[in-house]
Amino acid sequence: MDNILYAKIQKDIKAFDESHPATTDFYRNYTKSLMDRLVIEVVDAEDKRSTVPIMYANPERAIAKVKEDQTLQLPLISVAIGDIEENIKARRPDLQLTHYKFFDVEKQRAYRILKKTSKAVSLQFQITFWAKYTEDINQMVESLQLLFMPSMVLNTEHEQSTKAFLLDILDMSSVQAGDKQDRTLRKRATVRVEGYIPGREYLYSNTGRIKEFINTEIENKEN
């Protein structure tokens, strides 16, 4: 791709982006992948094993949900998104555009796809454990620690083998003597995911038109 054509494509993409604001499923993908991996069980006094239910909610909403929904019982796990920042150490080569070709078997036609470089970020999640009994909450914390040896691998639609790390586990319980009958024990774990916000992809036609390209099912790609 010569410099003149490259400059024209960059100009066309900039104009396209200004008229078509980008959206991303980055947060949803990583949240779903993390929650799918958090399969945690507890064993009661009768050796009965049960999977702890998990929900997406900040701590305030989670406890409100428990009080509102009579069918929702403890123990419980809630997941919420925390901070996000650029991950400079994992930054990929600063190429503004890469390109590849794929062949559409049904249409018997080759296409050129232009792709912006993915942005490396560190995304933090707060995982909160809720329980009435110390034994339950200790089992959940132990199970979580065993999922990170030392990292957990997450897979999304756009990235494979993304690493997640357990940073800390804090006791967030506040139990007063008069509340022991209805006490709620709480521990919060912070997990850092070293992921990538996927770069936008564009279909570049022979006429020089730019069109956003979204198709995760095409397998016949040729670099």
Q: What is the pLDDT along the chain (223 residues), one digit of tens a residue?
A: 566 666 777 778 778 877 777 777 889 999 999 999 999 999 998 999 999 999 999 878 887 877 777 667 889 999 999 989 988 877 766 556 777 777 777 878 777 888 888 888 999 999 999 999 999 999 999 999 999 999 999 999 888 889 999 999 999 886 544 445 567 899 999 999 999 888 888 887 766 677 777 654 443 343 3
The CA distance from 34 to 156, in Å, is: 10
pLDDT score recorded for residue 223: 35
- In 3D space, the residue among 126, 154, 3 whose CA is nearest the CA of residue 55 turns out to be 126
In the chain, the domains with their CATH numbers are 3-222 (3.30.2000)
Instruction: Give me the phi and psi of 88, to 5 degrees please.
Output: -65, -40
Q: Is 151 helix (H, G, I), strand (E, B) or coil?
A: strand
pTM for this prediction: 0.76
**Number of residues assigned to the chain:** 223
Distances (CA, A) of 136 to 38, 42, 67, 70: 16, 6, 19, 20
